Every structure is written in C-alpha cells, then in structure tokens.
Amino acid sequence: MPGTPVEQVDVSGWPTYNGIPYLERPGSGSMEFSRDLVTAKQIFLVEWSRRYDFIREILPSASIVNGQVVYVPPVPFPTFLECVAQTCTIDGYAKYDNTDLANSIHYQLATVVINFSTVGFVADQTALITKQLEFSGEMFQPGRNSFRFVSDNKAVDEPPGIFLPHIQIQIEKHYVPTFSLDLIVSLLGRINSVIFQNVAIGLVRYDGASAAQTITLNGPRPWSFVHKFTIRTINWNFAYRPGVGWRAITSDDGPPFLSGNFNSLLA
C-alpha cells in the first residue's frame, strides 16, 4: 500500500543542543505533585536519524539496546533537582513517503519523552539518605515490692507495668556502590558507643539491615540499604532496681549489650 506524501520538515531554524536541532513540545517541563511523589517530563522533537545522539547528549551514560533506552542515568530535572530521570521513550513522528508501509516505515522526526520522579535515584549520584520514624514502646514489668499503696504503705504484690518509650528508626541509604558485610555483622545487636543521629551514647540499638539491588540489561545497579535501629529513653545496659530506679548492670562477661560506632554504617 503506497504511503502518503509528507512535506519534508525543515529543522534549520530550530534551536540546537550541542549541535543537534530540537524542539520542545507542548507539555514539556510540566510537573505534578502528590503527597508522596513529584513527577515531571520533558518532550522533544528531534531528527529521527539523530535521535540516539540527542538522547546520549541530554542523558549522558544512557544505554540503548535494540532501539530501546534500557538504562537512564539519574539526571536531575532542571527546575527541581530532587526529581531525577527514570525512563526515556522514543516514538516516530512525521512519516516519509514510501512505497511499502507494511514492510518499512520511515520517519523524519522522533518524539523523545523523558520521565522524571522523586523516587529511585539521586540527582548527583551520591548516597541519598531517607529516614522513617515510628514511635511506640514496651511494657516493663518491675519486680514484686517495687510499689507501695499510698493508703497504708504496704507493698503491691502484683505491680503494674512501666511503659518504656521506644523510637523505631529506619535509615535508608540509596545508591550504595559497595558495602562491608563484616561491618554490618560486627555491629548487629550492639548499642551506640558515640553520639548517633543526635542521640546520646547507649540509647540506640542496631537491630539489623535489609538490602536490595536491581540488575538490568546494562548490568547491576547500585544497592539500596535499610538500616534498622531502636532508640529508648533508658540506657540499654540499665535495669530497674526497686526503691532506687534505673541503674547500670553487668556480669562476669560484661554488660548485656556491647557497643560500637554506627556512624560508619552511613559513611
């Protein structure tokens, strides 16, 4: 079936990006905001024959396999640096006249769409840290005779529990090229030996970590780590002593919790 003749597009008057003519399409530069996410997009028209050159110029290190952009580097959106490139698509625009559309379609122009969001990579390719806090606590059961009745000063046989506030904190570190498994294992179950996240010594316990990595056609992407801690208002090596209050405890083998420097986990 013969193709429909289309007038040749003249790009001589277009602006250029590193020598490549382009036009921004309506809707390019738009942003959308929601409670947990910001998205944006850029839409360009470029010559079909130079579409890959344009993408590599505007998205340095992008990988293109079989005509598909399979890896988009974390390039920031121009007016909102926390919003970074996630995907890039290419569509044909303005067909050439040709004799067999069923077997071959020729385009003069390509529509290049770059989608950005605040989820995923970090704009400057350094480690981005995000935090999540959960406020809760535990009921501590003191021993018998810890409390007395006000009316007659007699001991309470079954004393009520004492609420001990806790803060569960998860610190997620994105774009981690490498990590030390030995360091993580060595700090598991320990308490902080130095001030950590502005919390005093002995109040933070390291509860563990989880890690995730995505492998694409371009190879493995950096790791994302979630480190989990519990903060409490009383030193983890303290116990409640009736009539005295919270006091440090130890044994022949030392205190219940050893200590360590957690700042190295986030370095």
For each of the chain's 267 residues, which pLDDT tens digit applies? 344 545 678 899 999 999 999 999 999 999 988 766 789 999 999 999 999 999 999 998 888 888 888 888 878 888 887 788 989 999 987 665 554 444 556 788 999 999 998 864 444 444 478 889 999 988 888 877 778 889 998 888 888 888 889 999 999 988 787 888 999 999 999 999 999 999 999 999 999 999 988 776 556 777 888 999 999 999 999 988 877 888 999 999 999 999 999 999 987
Identify the pLDDT of residue 23.
Answer: 95
3-state SS, one letter per residue, for 35-74: CCCEEEEEEEEEEHHHHHHHHHHHCCCCEEECCEEEECCC
pTM of the model: 0.52
Identify the pLDDT of residue 251.
Answer: 93
